[in-house]
Amino acid sequence: MLSPRVLIPFVLTGAIWGSTWFVITGQIAGVPAPWGVFYRFAIATPALFALAAAMGRRLRLGRDEHLLALMVGIAQFSGNFLFVYHAEAHITSGIVAVMFALLMVPNALFARLFLGEKVAGGFIAGSLVAIAGVVMLLVHEWRAAPLGGNVALGIALAVGGMLAASIANVIQANPTGRGVPMVSLLAWAMLYGTLFDLAYALVLAGAPVVPGAWRFWAGTAYLALIGSVVTFPLHYNLVREIGAGRTAYNGILTVAVAMLLSTLFEGFRWDGLSSAGMALALLGMGLALRARQRG
């Protein structure tokens, strides 16, 4: 864990993903959320194809593989991100990040349901502790309502995004998915998701809104290239190096970075309830991941 080839990508992925939650707030301030999502992946998609080609991964997929890429793309790069971008109009980015740190819970449940994977008792206990902590944070957010005020809608949207991401995580692990190079599958999935995002934006948000502010495009490029293209290869290399269980611990670093940025730039204010909630959430995540690794 302390070797540079493990420690450096571990810290980088956690820190980068922690920062993306806040950067998204600048995107939804500049354009309607659907167009923000589309611009992000319109930039990321060709870069990911180029990365797959540079790595020598095959880009030709069979019919079943394309169908899987389509399902992953709709769930991950459309449903997940559309829900998230809309959610951050109502609740702070740090809270959305904390909620998404519980992605391991629906992941485990869906994997049990569709793939027959076992769930350790300690994982369930730790997850319940983490959920209790997140509930306390949401109560704090409900009282403060620092953004649009519709916290309930923000929570529902964040849950929708989390479930969409979880579905994508589980279905890509089926036998068809395991036969496709990960970077290639992600490239095609991102292409399909981007096309869906374009159609969604045209129907629900109207004509394209093209902001002229350089900050918007700088943020979009960061989300596309650093937050999407760079981190996925780093993440999956970590999975190969130290296993999925240990790699999942960078979710705790992600939450820490996201909450720090939310505190500094979004006006999140800590009190006894929120502090206790964060402590419980981090403790529960650690217990759940530790149990899952052992199980």
For residue 48, the model assigns a pLDDT of 95
pLDDT at 76 over 70: yes
Q: What are phi and psi of 179, to 5 degrees?
A: -90, 0
pLDDT at 74 over 90: yes
Q: Read off the pLDDT band of 60 (50, 70, 90).
A: very high
Mean pLDDT score, 264-272: 82
For residue 258, the model assigns a pLDDT of 84
Nearest-Å Rg of the Cα atoms of the chain is 18
For residue 295, the model assigns a pLDDT of 47
Rounded-to-integer distance, Cα 224 and Cα 244, Å:
24
Are 27 and 103 in contact by the 8 Å Cβ rule? The answer is no
Q: Read off the pLDDT band of 3 (50, 70, 90).
A: confident
Q: Read off the pLDDT band of 46 (50, 70, 90).
A: very high
Are 94 and 266 in contact by the 8 Å Cβ rule? The answer is yes
Per-residue pLDDT tens over the stretch 82-97: 999 999 888 888 788 8
Question: What is the biggest distance separating any 2 CA atoms in the chain, rounded to whole angstroms?
Answer: 55
For residue 45, the model assigns a pLDDT of 97
pLDDT at 67 over 50: yes
Structure tokens at 99: 């909620």
Per-residue pLDDT tens over the stretch 173-205: 778 888 888 899 999 999 999 999 999 999 999
- The DSSP code sequence of 46-64 is HHHHHHHHHTT------HH
Query: Quick one: angle between helices 151-171 and 63-72, nearest 10?
Result: 160
